[in-house]
């Protein structure tokens, strides 16, 4: 169902107003924006498309998109040899941090990456049996 140009323009303005302060769209905000789009007669797919379009044009961060990107990177590392080592984790962390444009603090980013790894059943390679380098466990 096509929406009028006026509704589309007002929805875009609504998106920009919602992220005016922090230029970051977390999952809850994304849901609330989509609910507003539905109230205005849009479908979920159309609302998501406009959110992503505005974010791309204005440089806003969408939490879900940043996490999907991190998940793809971690998947590639996990597929390589079956585990994610500390260097691969740190490389993923750097890319995730860059995608979030500093909107999430480092400890929270590390915990999110760890959660992605655990949720997907991937393994992290820590030091050997006698090693004190328990980098993954310490997150």
Residue-range domain boundaries for the chain: 5-59, 64-124
Indicate if the pLDDT at residue 134 is higher than 90. Answer: no
pLDDT in tens, 61-113: 999 999 999 999 999 999 988 899 999 999 999 999 999 988 889 999 999 99
Residue 120 pLDDT level (bands cut at 50, 70, 90): very high
On the question of pLDDT at 133 being above 80, the answer is no
User: pLDDT, tens digit, for every residue of 2-30?
Assistant: 678 999 999 999 999 999 988 999 999 99
- Predicted confidence at residue 90, as pLDDT, reads 95
pTM (2 decimals)?
A: 0.83
* Residues 6 or more apart in contact with residue 110 via CB below 8 angstroms: 93, 139
Q: What share of the chain is helix, strand, coil (3-state, %, to 5)?
A: 65, 5, 30
CA atoms within a 13 Å half-sphere pointing along the CA-CB vector of 22: 12
pLDDT band at 130 (very low <50, low <70, confident <90, very high): low
The Cα 16–Cα 54 span in angstroms is 8
Predicted local confidence at residue 31, as pLDDT = 97
- % of the chain residues with pLDDT over 90: 80
Q: Is pLDDT larger for residue 33 or for residue 135?
A: 33
Residue for token pair 């998109």: 65
């Amino acid at each position: 169902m096509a929406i009028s140009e006026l509704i589309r323009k007002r929805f875009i303005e609504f998106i920009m107003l919602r992220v005016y302060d922090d230029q970051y769209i977390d999952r809850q905000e994304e849901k609330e924006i989509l609910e507003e789009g539905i109230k205005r007669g849009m479908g979920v797919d159309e609302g998501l498309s406009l959110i992503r379009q505005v974010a791309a044009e204005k440089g806003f961060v969408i939490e879900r998109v940043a996490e999907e990107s991190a998940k793809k990177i971690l998947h590639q590392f996990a597929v390589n040899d079956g585990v994610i080592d500390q260097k691969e984790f740190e490389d993923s962390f750097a890319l995730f941090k860059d995608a979030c444009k500093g909107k999430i603090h480092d400890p929270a980013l590390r915990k999110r990456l760890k959660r992605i790894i655990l949720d997907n059943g991937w393994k992290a390679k820590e030091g050997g049996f006698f090693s004190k380098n328990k980098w993954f466990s310490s997150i």
